[in-house]
Structure 1
């Protein structure tokens, strides 16, 4: 008789093996992508969807799903407690505006919204605070990832940018950002 007891997990696992390329690059790179992006001069190239006065919305270059965006302050701050209350309020408004825009453009079934503070918590860019907003659909982790180790993102970043920019701009204006 087997001594192993199998217990049904109460949680699911989000595998993201394609991020290893990003993680390896992030550790060897000089500078900060979140500090550099706003000064690129071309928001489409920088993937900046919306600019507030203290923070901005940017597409994730290595998305978990189509529409994966992040909200980050302009200031290079690593810790939540180092943000000003004005930055926190504006970022919260931009998260809310982004969720509304994503619902309108993509009609996802749900969202993962989160922050990883520090490398030990999984932050790919640990030195600059940012909030992930990941639209989710039932069954969005399909067999390709499990069997082939390949994530299927059905839309280019350029197309995502074109769809989300006007929607986030409109929702951010409604939020007063």
Structure 2
């Protein structure tokens, strides 16, 4: 018996019980060494300070409020993964003003309603990672995650397998959620 890999379906490999999900778009995140565009930490480099300066479509902004706004996560855990951010560059929830915290809460509730109606999700993961040590990818700017979940989604496969299959393109998700957002 040879130690050479077996050729299966035109590719080198040994058959096993695992299916492969090829998601090359994730290389942008992997190549960034998980630091994202905010590696320098300066306010001018903050993606959440820069996003509101762009068009809604370019920045994937679903809704703009008075103190906070909602946009799609560029590196989503699930299709429809939204972020609710204050416009002001502030790192921690307890540093948000009363008005900012109230609008973040209200926009989070609206995001849940829109996702439940538009994406027909079964549940949500909602939360904030405060500081680098807590897992915040952009620790310098407060943001709340609103992640829709479905009964049949892959659950924590991204954590274990470092892969996530997303069935809908970001642009299509943005257009759908933007049009579903109440006026």
Q: TM-score normalized by structure 2?
A: 0.75
2:177 aligns with 164
1:48 aligns with 61
Greater share of residues in helix? 1
**Cα displacement string for residues 127-161 of structure 1 (whole angstroms, at most 9, x for unaligned residues):** 0000000001123117x869975321000000001
Q: Structure 2 unaligned runs (5+)?
A: 1-25
Q: Structure 1 unaligned runs (5+)?
A: 1-17
CA contact (8 A) 1:108 1:135 kept: yes
Aligned-partner SS, 1:102: helix
RCO higher in structure (CA 8 A, sep ≥6): 1
- Which among 27, 32, 47 is matched to residue 33 of structure 1? 47
CA contact (8 A) 1:73 1:91 kept: yes
CA contact (8 A) 1:26 1:124 kept: no
The RMSD of aligned alpha carbons is: 2.3
CA contact (8 A) 2:37 2:46 kept: no
Moved beyond 6 Å, runs of 4+: none
Provide the rounded CA distance (Å) in 1 between the counterparts of 2:135 and 2:161.
Answer: 24
1:61 aligns with 74
CA contact (8 A) 1:70 1:132 kept: yes
Q: TM-score normalized by structure 1?
A: 0.78
Provide the rounded CA distance (Å) in 2 between the counterparts of 1:127 and 1:145.
Answer: 24
Q: Which has more radius of gyration?
A: 2
